[in-house]
């Protein structure tokens, strides 16, 4: 691909974490949305798994490779206005990591999933007689509030996942950039000038 070179960007740990989180969130959301008494305990277990994966990601963002560090994500956001003006151009972004829109998506997803996991600890389902492990430590009003937020953030997460899938399809079809393959093999096409957003 002229003007681009393939570079190793996503390390094996980040790739494994990405797919583990995707599986955990999809399975946990599905069991929560279509819950029955027999699967609710698994919904809770998957919530624990998602929480542990989030904790790892927050730590990995301080000590992991440069493309996934917190400072890289927030630094990328500074280029968001310029990137949005150019995003319709029919060529790959070529950024050596997350482009500004991708960085915003990562931050939004991490925050929404964190809120979902935390509120789940204090939620309850009266109909199925299940409650989060910390629900008994707070007032009934707090449990009711956290349950409402937990249900709300389930919808927020679903919306963010839908946007994520739509973005993947947009980049694949319109910008001719496969975002899934690099999360499998770690390598992506990067612009030789370092992925200048104004050129995308």
Whether residue 197 has pLDDT greater than 50 = no
Percent of the chain past pLDDT 70, that is, above it, reads 94
What is the rounded distance in angstroms from the CA atom of residue 44 to the CA atom of residue 120?
8
Task: Kindly indicate the confidence band of residue 199, based on its pLDDT and cuts at 50, 70 and 90.
Answer: very low
What is the rounded distance in angstroms from the CA atom of residue 29 to the CA atom of residue 24?
8
The pLDDT tens digits of the residues spanning 63-100 come to: 999 999 999 999 999 999 999 999 999 888 888 899 99
User: What are the structural domain ranges in the chain?
Assistant: 4-199
User: What DSSP state is assigned to residue 52?
Assistant: H
Assign 3-class secondary structure to 57-80: HHHHHHHCCHHHCHHHHHHHHCCH
Task: Tell me the backbone φ, ψ of residue 99, rounded to 5 degrees.
Answer: -75, 170
Quote the mean pLDDT of the chain: 91
Q: Which residue has the tokens 């060529």?
A: 91
Count CB-CB contacts under 10 A for residue 168: 15
What CATH number labels 4-199? Answer: 1.20.950.20
Whether residue 56 has pLDDT greater than 90 = yes
pLDDT at 3: 82
pLDDT at 131: 86
The pLDDT tens digits of the residues spanning 110-157 come to: 999 999 999 999 999 866 678 889 999 999 999 999 999 999 999 999
Which H or E run contains 160? helix 140-173
Whether residue 200 has pLDDT greater than 60 = no
Task: Kindly indicate the confidence band of residue 194, based on its pLDDT and cuts at 50, 70 and 90.
Answer: low
pLDDT at 1: 66
Q: Whole-model pTM?
A: 0.89
What is the rounded distance in angstroms from the CA atom of residue 14 to the CA atom of residue 98?
13
């Amino acid at each position: 691909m002229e003007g681009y070179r393939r570079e190793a960007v996503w390390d094996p740990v980040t790739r494994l974490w990405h797919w583990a989180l995707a599986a955990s969130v999809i399975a946990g959301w599905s069991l929560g949305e279509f819950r029955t008494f027999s699967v609710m305990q698994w919904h809770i277990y998957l919530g624990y798994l998602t929480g542990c994966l989030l904790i790892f990601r927050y730590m990995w963002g301080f000590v992991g490779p440069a493309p996934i560090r917190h400072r890289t994500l927030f630094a990328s956001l500074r280029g968001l206005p310029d990137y949005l003006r150019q995003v319709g151009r029919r060529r790959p972004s070529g950024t050596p990591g997350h482009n500004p829109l991708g960085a915003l998506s990562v931050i939004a997803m991490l925050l929404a999933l964190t809120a979902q996991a935390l509120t789940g600890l204090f939620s309850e389902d009266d109909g199925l007689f299940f409650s989060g492990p910390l629900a008994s430590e707070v007032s009934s009003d707090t449990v009711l509030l956290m349950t409402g937020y937990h249900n709300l953030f389930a919808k927020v997460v679903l919306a963010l996942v839908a946007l994520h899938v739509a973005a993947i399809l947009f980049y694949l079809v319109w910008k001719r950039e496969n975002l899934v393959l690099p999360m499998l093999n770690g390598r992506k096409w990067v612009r030789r000038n370092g992925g200048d957003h104004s050129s995308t």
